Structure 1
Amino acid sequence: MDQVLSFISPDVSPTMLGVSAILCGFFLYTVTKMFGFGSRNKFVVEGRTVVITGGSEGMGKAVACQLAAKGANIVLVARTVKKLQGALDDVKASAANVNRQRFHYISADLTNAAQCEQIIEEVTEWNDGLPPDVVWCCAGYCNPGFFIDTPVQTLRDQMDTIYWTAANTAHATLKKWLVPVSPSEQKPMPRRHLIFTCSTLAFVPITGYVAYSPAKAAIRALSDTLNQEIEIYNGTRQSKSQINATPADVKIHTVFPMGILSPGFDNEQKMKPELTKQLEAADKPQTPNEVAKIAIAALERGEYLITTMFVGHVMKGTAMGGSPRNYTIRDTLTSWLSSLVFLQVIPDLRKQAWNWGMKNGIPSPNSE
């Protein structure tokens, strides 16, 4: 949003804010480099098995190709077999060593919890009896429109195809990962990763995404809750007493892209109200490869809430709330700056909507 960059509280000098932000960023970058923070890869995928839902196109396919290039075994999950087959060919072509790596696809409806459990069981059998090491939830689509013009069934469908596909997949995955083992069976294992794909609209909702934003906000709440709850199970592995423990530590992550150029985005643009396009003018869509590359780099640094561009980072800053921080000092400073910026941004968004109504009247479902 242009508002994020151009509207500053009149009581604060934009120059001072800009200089302070740059100096803080330079200081934190310098300290990070001097002391080697984040230099160890915390998301090693070579030789490990990764399941990617929504992996037949867009961001999911880009993630699959880039992880295959890093040596991962890839399982794609989506509904359409033809798309899955084509995507799997591209993934194989991206592989670091196609003779050593393994590739598989599964056609399934992720809104069905039973099918999600079947997916994890099938992957486990295919993976020589071991559950997947990484599960990345990318499934979902956006159906934009104004609230009273959106059928109630569409509101339900958006929650099903966005929130419930992620929740069902996470539930089936964690049930498999968190089965306790006895002290005699415990051995060192690499950390497992559960990754959600959300949206910056979970931080700052925009008019026209009334069916989409609540579902994405629900994913963020699920992620924050699991991020805390998973420590129960991680703690069992550090216990000094002889108790049953989970086989491996688990870490939760969530990625918050903005617009992503894809077939789904093109379809979304056809349905999107003109007011929505105006309000999100500063969202310069990224390619799936750009989003995947930035997200994977952040995972390798061990980040939890991951944004893929500066505007998204500022949006996250204003809505951190009780979410864990990636970097305590940097994220706190960003939160302070974002709060000042959004003193002007939110009223401006409401003002633009008001002006739109004054100029154009009540929107017609068929006019936009």
Structure 2
Amino acid sequence: MGSSLALAGTLQFGTSHPTLALAVTALVVLASGSLLMTLFGWGNRRFDVRDKHCYIGGGSEGLGLSLACQLAQRGAHVTIVSRSQAKLDKARAQVETHRQSPSQIFQHYACDLTDPSAAASTLRTACRAHAGAAPDSLFACAGGCVPGLFAEMSAAEHWKCMEWNFRSCLNTVHEGVRAMKEEVGAGRRKGGGNVVLTSSVLALMSFTGYSSYSPSKYAIRGLAEALRNELLLYGISVHLFLPATIFSPGFENEQRLKPEITKKIEGPDEGLQPDAVARELIKGLERGDFYITYEPVGHMLRNSRAITPRNNNVVLDTLWGLAGTVVFPIWRWMSPDGEVRKEARRIAQAQQLGSGAATK
């Protein structure tokens, strides 16, 4: 997937910067949280995928491929699905290099995940190698970002982003969830399993340049929040991954299309490679988190948006929420709103100059 946000780069704290105190606050929050984690012994829960079937939509490159390799390294059976057969062939070869046992089953299927019938058929086909059993974990990683200004993009382009991100996400997991539910109802599964939806920190707060992208990520967040509650009935865990900038294959194209004002708001590009982001996702699954964030901006956004339930870690979430309550209203006023106000003044001045020239 493409990058999503580089907010951390905009929080630049120099010794004379008015937000220096906010940086100190954030550091205190981090130190306090780490101390509490140590004192109370809060640790990781086991995320055991050995001999389990992990099905990944969007697994031919970027986050999905890195995740596939790391799950294979842990002994999982891995199925990757994507639109491009050529990319899948290369990805499958890369996954093979992480094989731990001859008994591991690796599969790859070319499929347009925006097509619900094709997506459902592909999942059922992948399950045949596992005696028809539903996957143990479903990962929706397909999608991408095409930034632009709202009125300068066509309505069709906006809907295309919704199809590319939300529709592919829903189709990736829908048939798998149905199969999991049926197995629980028939007594063939005692519950368990994971549904992991990839969204973005831009599902927590958005700004200029992402009007085509953020709605699809908010939709994924809404789907995850509904499923988290609904699938408790079947003992199925749901997780929402909210990554920031990922230096994926689509990142360069995204930067090329990104409006200049969006680049100003975001500041310097500070992100992670797909391998590092995949590791953070797995860490979140090991902790049993519903909302999975891994860097200060994500933590503060997650806890300053009145998100419920705050069940990752009550104490840490409260501390991050306090920090976010201080930092982000000021940041938003200074950067996104400030840049837009400056751009509005620039446009108004240009219009005045043009009007003046026309009257001469």
1:10-35 superposed Cα distances (whole Å, 9 cap, x missing partner): 899548735642452133222243xx
Structure 1: gaps spanning 5 or more residues: 235-248, 364-368
Q: Distance in 1 between matches of 2:10 and 2:189?
A: 52
1:230-251 superposed Cα distances (whole Å, 9 cap, x missing partner): 12x23xxxxxxxxxxxxxx210
RMSD (Å), alpha carbons: 2.5
**Which position in structure 1 is the counterpart of 2:29?**
21
Q: Distance in 2 between matches of 1:310 and 1:155?
A: 30
Number of equivalenced pairs: 340
Q: Name the aligned partner's letter for residue 25 of structure 2.
A: L
Deviation at 1:283, TM superposition (A): 4.7
Deviation at 1:262, TM superposition (A): 1.7
1:306 aligns with 2:306: no
1:286 aligns with 2:272: yes
Alignment of 1:162-241 (within 5 A): 162-179=165-182, 185=187, 188=190, 191-231=192-232, 233-234=233-234
TM-score (norm 1): 0.86
In structure 2, relative to structure 1, the CA distance for the partners of 1:177 and 1:339 (3 Å cut) is same
Q: Distance in 2 between matches of 1:16 and 1:209?
A: 30
Q: Name the aligned partner's letter for residue 57 of structure 1.
A: E
In structure 2, relative to structure 1, the CA distance for the partners of 1:187 and 1:105 (3 Å cut) is closer
Helix, strand or coil: the match of 1:87?
helix
Helix, strand or coil: the match of 1:38?
coil
In structure 2, relative to structure 1, the CA distance for the partners of 1:181 and 1:63 (3 Å cut) is closer
Alignment of 1:101-180 (within 5 A): 101-179=104-182
Deviation at 1:182, TM superposition (A): 6.3
Whether the 8 Å contact between 1:38 and 1:302 is mirrored in structure 2 is no
Whether the 8 Å contact between 1:203 and 1:318 is mirrored in structure 2 is no
Q: Name the aligned partner's letter for residue 193 of structure 1.
A: N
What fraction of aligned residue pairs are identical, expressed as a percent? 30
**Which position in structure 2 is the counterpart of 1:64?**
68
TM-score (norm 2): 0.87
Deviation at 1:322, TM superposition (A): 2.6
In structure 2, relative to structure 1, the CA distance for the partners of 1:160 and 1:15 (3 Å cut) is closer
**Which position in structure 2 is the counterpart of 1:75?**
79
1:204-235 superposed Cα distances (whole Å, 9 cap, x missing partner): 2021011000110110111111111112x23x
In structure 2, relative to structure 1, the CA distance for the partners of 1:122 and 1:187 (3 Å cut) is closer
**Which position in structure 1 is the counterpart of 2:356?**
none
